[in-house]
Amino acid sequence: MPEIILHYIWEHCLWAGYDQTTTDGRKVEILSVGEHNRDAGPDYSHARIRIDGHEWVGNIEIHVCSSDWVKHHHHLDKAYDSVILHVVRTADKPVYNSRGELIPQCELRYPVEKDYLTEWFHTAQQMDSATGRIGCAERLIHDPSLISDGWRKSLLHKRLECKKASIDRLLEITKGSWAHALYISLARNFGFHTNSLPFEQLAINTPLSYLQKHRNSLFQLTAMLMGQAGLIGDEKLRKEYEFLRTKFSLTPLEPSIWKHARMRPQNSPELRIRQFAQLLYQSEGLFSKILDSDDIKDLVRLFEWTEDNVPPLGRSSIDILLINTVIPYKYAYAIHRNGYWDASTMMEKISAENNTIIRQWRVLGQEVKNAADTQALLHLYQNYCQHHECINCEVGYQIFQDRQLKLF
């Protein structure tokens, strides 16, 4: 049985009606299963239980076997000292926290019929692994409404929260500088997935403050960025970079980190770097301009130019930058200021993305009208379908409920 099945049984109270006890025979009453923690640390927080009449509030950790506690090194991790109950399917050994204290354990009792969840999980997993298709594809083809509007809205919110978490990490790196964090994030997204990591490293290795000292010269901005990327071919740019390299004690990246294979010319890293330099050259106070406007046309214009020497960004590329950088930054900034900004409405004003994942959703009958739809469906695929998190998905939950009704 995968551990995720036990999570589902615990979270959805499929144990209700069955007496629960610790492995040493004490009665366990589950008053609240707690909140599912998807980050590092115990599986459920703020749970409430009674053991032999004594109430406890704290964390719950779930494993298939007790011995997994040691395999995962929880006995050495102080983050698990607050666990009040270790819930398992099989208790094969006692477990202790980092202070050497014995952790109460409960072999969870539930109807044996619930093992059909395991069967369904493996079926979906095999289909996904063997074909690359979405596990519940057959059900969705017959009933596309299984993905409800409410679930889409929730998925879009989760997507925005993930992007906000990335921004928070950049703010830590940049010591709270929103402009510098925006610069790194924009650079990453100028890599358009294929070269996102090299672009991000380029921005980290080339401080924004250095570029700002030469922001009035497109030639110098281009020389510094191309030189730092290790991709200079033009002799004039090379000479200028050597001057800037000495001035700022710069260290260039290895050229081998950039991907060129099977890439269209308009997506080459050399062109994208020149376009990024052009954006920095023309966009003084870019972060303030982004914050000041809620008009999609104004935001698009920030990424447009007419200079002949640097090919312009296509509208689909601009949309990707709006989706992955601009809108998340406006959303995150509002939250940091204890405010609210309607990111969903702004996403609805942007055209739907077109990629292999979205095309697969279209085949399954999903309506895709705008970027709000595509971002929700991308999050569903990347964070649920790919990781076989069927049990935590609204679609999987409905399918499980249907099967449960057929059994009883």
DSSP 274-316: HHHHHHHHH-TTHHHHHHH---HHHHHHTT----TTSPPPPHH
How many C-beta atoms surround the C-beta of residue 300 within 10 A? 17
Pair 103, 134 in one domain: no
Domain boundary among 110, 145, 170: 110
63: phi then psi, degrees, rounded to nearest 5: -140, 160
Domain boundary among 110, 132, 165: 110
Pair 184, 322 in one domain: yes
Whether residue 163 lies inside any domain: the answer is no
The token duo for 213 is 């000292």
Which is it for strands 54-65 and 83-90: parallel, antiparallel or unpaired?
A: parallel
- pTM for this predicted structure: 0.73
Whether residue 165 lies inside any domain: the answer is no
**Contact by Cβ (8 Å): 223, 237:** yes
Whether residue 398 lies inside any domain: the answer is yes
Question: How far apart, in whole angstroms, are the C-alpha atoms of residue 364 and residue 385?
Answer: 14
Domain boundary among 281, 296, 330: 330
Whether residue 20 lies inside any domain: the answer is yes
Pair 149, 185 in one domain: no
The pLDDT of residue 399:
74
Question: How far apart, in whole angstroms, are the C-alpha atoms of residue 333 and residue 384?
Answer: 28
The token duo for 327 is 């809108």
The pLDDT of residue 129:
46
Q: Is 123 left (phi over 0), alpha (psi -120 to 50) or beta?
A: alpha
Residue ranges making up the domain that contains 78 = 3-110
Pair 362, 320 in one domain: no
Question: How far apart, in whole angstroms, are the C-alpha atoms of residue 14 and residue 404?
Answer: 11
Pair 188, 234 in one domain: yes
CA torsion sign, 170 to 171 to 172 to 177? Answer: positive
Containing 401, the helix (H) or strand (E) segment is helix 394-407
- Number of residues assigned to the chain: 408
Pair 190, 322 in one domain: yes
The pLDDT of residue 388:
74
Pair 101, 131 in one domain: no
The pLDDT of residue 137:
78
Question: How far apart, in whole angstroms, are the C-alpha atoms of residue 322 and residue 378?
Answer: 16
Containing 64, the helix (H) or strand (E) segment is strand 54-65
Question: How far apart, in whole angstroms, are the C-alpha atoms of residue 245 and residue 206?
Answer: 10
Count of domains for the chain: 3
Question: How far apart, in whole angstroms, are the C-alpha atoms of residue 339 and residue 189?
Answer: 26
How many C-beta atoms surround the C-beta of residue 288 within 10 A? 11
Task: Give the position of tokens 């619930």.
Answer: 114
Pair 129, 77 in one domain: no
Whether residue 161 lies inside any domain: the answer is no
Pair 183, 326 in one domain: yes
As to burial, measured by CB atoms within 10 angstroms (0-12 exposed, 13-18 middle, 19+ buried), residue 71 is: exposed
Pair 27, 76 in one domain: yes
Pair 95, 183 in one domain: no
Pair 231, 320 in one domain: yes
Whether residue 290 lies inside any domain: the answer is yes
pLDDT < 70 regions, the chain: 1-2, 112-135, 400-408
**Contact by Cβ (8 Å): 126, 2:** no
Whether residue 160 lies inside any domain: the answer is no
CA torsion sign, 203 to 207 to 210 to 212? Answer: positive
Whether residue 340 lies inside any domain: the answer is no
219: DSSP letter: H
The token duo for 156 is 């879009």
